[in-house]
Structure 1
Amino acid sequence: MRARGLVGAALLGACSPVTPPGLVLDVGRTCEDIELAVADPDVLPGWRIHAAAIARSGADAAWFLASEHPGELELRRAPEDIPGVDLSTVGAPHEFTLTRSAIEGQLWLTLDRDDAAQLWRIDEDAAAVSAGPALAGFPGDASTEWFHRLVFLGQSPYLLALPRLTKVGEVPVHVAAVTPELGLGERWTLTATVTCPPLSELTCPLLWDDLRELSVLDVAEPGSVAGAALLISIASRPDAMPDPAAPPAMFETHILSLALQRDPTAEKPVLTRRDHVAWPTSGPALPSPAQLAADPLGVYVLAGLVPGPDGSSADATPADYLFRTDLLGPDTTDEGDLIALLDKDLHSHLLQLGSRVAIGQLPTKHWYVAPIEGVTVDEDIVGTLEVGEHASLLRAGRGQVVVVGESAPTRRVRIACADDGSQVDAP
């Protein structure tokens, strides 16, 4: 029996009843079924996998940030026919991002530290890993610490810097072109400014002067959107010395996306900001899930809140919110439509499948994947894979995911069109 209806049934009546066309992947044909095929049944046995990326669509090899022993970190290829890089003395796993390039056969590694950044380029065709210089002093403002993320405009790489502390209404975004030597070339400073509706002066974030914590939650896969897109949160900071006699402070978490695009008529890239939701809670909360994906016509955001590390925010969101917004022009502030509320127990996540978007859910020991077309989840096309209890998923780009099991081998799974006439059966 095919596993149909689980993903669609989880959408609380928010989706359009229109039946969309089949899922179109990079292979250039329409899917009648999704197949979750195991490309590598045992990835780096004995190693802990922190991140993964595929350099070439459909390739038999992948690159991993992985640790064999505590305190160690390596960038490794599996199969290992290109030498990797020992990063044990360079940074901790959470300080690196590993991403596919806009160019087939190429990957990038970014070190994001409070005091500096650094880039590595992996070229499979040349069987080489190139390391760039330390990029200290970008953007050259010591008033706060900065996040650094690599994005692509067309096939050209750019490094972004966003402040770790910022006002809600105006967020500075620094952009620098990356040179072939992995240094920084031409630079621009842009501002992501909120647009408030008329007669909203009392609630307009442009009038708020307090600094809040910014976090970079996700970056759209290169090539999935015209330009680049990021998902960020801006949240209240806990009071270091709260007044015990005062009422408990309310916390706010703003979820917004930023799109960076080239404009042939402008001297610098164009930045578009969309504010999706602002959640008040009684205590600190963390965005989870927090993911971004895109198809040729729109951007999808999946976001929710969970209690902070101290567990004080009991009123974090009871459901995860799925938004979709059209790819509009640079002077628009459309936050998009809420197309679904998803029960948190379903462990929903977004997947980028070439130029299409899918939603995955992992409610128990089975993983389900269904495509999204517009505001409709196509539950007639559902891929299923048994992954075991307490499994976790690492998106590796180009339609591939690494499944990390609690007591099972780590597997790399390719999401693709099933062969004609094949069935994807749930055990």
Structure 2
Amino acid sequence: MPTSTDSRLTRLRERRSGLIAQRDAITNAVELRGATNLSETESRDFLRVTEQLGAIDDRIDELEAEARQGAPTDGARQAGTARMSVTEPRTYARGARASYFQDLARVQLGQDDDGRAIERLRRHAQDVSEGAEYRDLNRTDGNGGYAVPPMWLMNDFVTLARAGRAYANVVNGQPLPPGTDSINVPKVATGTAVAVQTADNAAVQETDLTDTSISAPVRTIAGQQDVAIQLLDQSPVSFDEVIFRDLVADYATKTDLQVISGSGSSGQVTGVRNTAGITTISYTTGSPTVSGLYSKLADAVQRVHTQRFMAPTVIVMHPRRWAYLLAASDGNGRPLVVPDAGNPQNAIATLGKVAAEQVVGQLHGLPVVTDPSMPTNLGAGTNEDVIHVLRASDLILYESGIRSRVMPEVGSGTLTVRLQVYGYLAFTAARYPASIVELGGSGLAAPAF
């Protein structure tokens, strides 16, 4: 009677034969049409099948080794039998002889004659599928393991300080649908109506519904850096780390700025501030006070309630405006915003934690998120900021994953390598503009501390 190990080996070998047949079918299709290179779709399918084959081969090797050594069954191991665990180093660990960028370039240029580069990239794909760096670079339909720089590339270097994407993170994020350059969302323009019937057999109210649509064009955010190959080869500092990390960080910042203030022209999305129909409230005064701002924010909250007919979910402001509230005190010098852990009495707001670009406290019962990308150069004196009170789920941000590329051929004549990242996004706040209230004016000029 076959053992559990024998049964698993049989199933794995059958699966392996099927995958080999799939891979042969891909290459046979290329030969039949007389081509010398695989298409983009065929390359992706070929790499996927190869990756699956590698994983199955590894598992077959493990089971065969267990069978030779008389290893205990899974049931015995689960019952408590000890087992040694060996952790192999990552393929592109810092200091490893293999180079991620050299392997990627060889595969892209068809110079991987012995297949070792693609095998290392396959193992790297397995590495990143278990690590946080895959999530960092791929939020939705992403780029696959081969195009994800190694973990140490993204995590260790001290980078230029940049604002993140706090506003973009609070809105309704969705994967960008493939195969389109514009997302159109139907919308009811004017609705139906009912009325009291004036008498039996009298006419019933009839009002025809009309509709329209919202268009969210797909836009591209991209950046690149050309680097002398000597710099990558000879410098004691890993400049590929510096460049890719900085490009990804700036990508996040630019995405956030598009959500907040995109102009809707010159390749930009239409951001919240430029969306037609949002509500604006002016806090105009030469002597701003915290109580005056508090009242205006209450007005903003009720505007969403009365115009959107649903509650707002978040308040977004610049860190300096939150600091202004934290610095405020009453006539006896007692702070008006205190930590919520102290069970405050009569506080206008509570401080959750000292943090950057995330929820920092509560005001009017709503979470407060600080974002340094909120503008601070508005108004006649060009030193005013704004505060947004909004129902964040009404705003939709469609995003692809961030793709990375290494292109040695563009500068091959000068030994130059181009490192590049790019991605796609579409955004709309026009589904329910009444769910957004912008508070601005001279009362939000730069505070003094």
TM-score bracket for the superposition, by shorter chain length: under 0.3
Name whichever structure is richer in helix by fraction.
2
The alignment's TM-score, normalised by the length of structure 1, stands at 0.19
Name whichever structure is richer in strand by fraction.
1
Q: From the CA coordinates, give the structure whose radius of gyration is larger.
A: 2
The alignment's TM-score, normalised by the length of structure 2, stands at 0.19
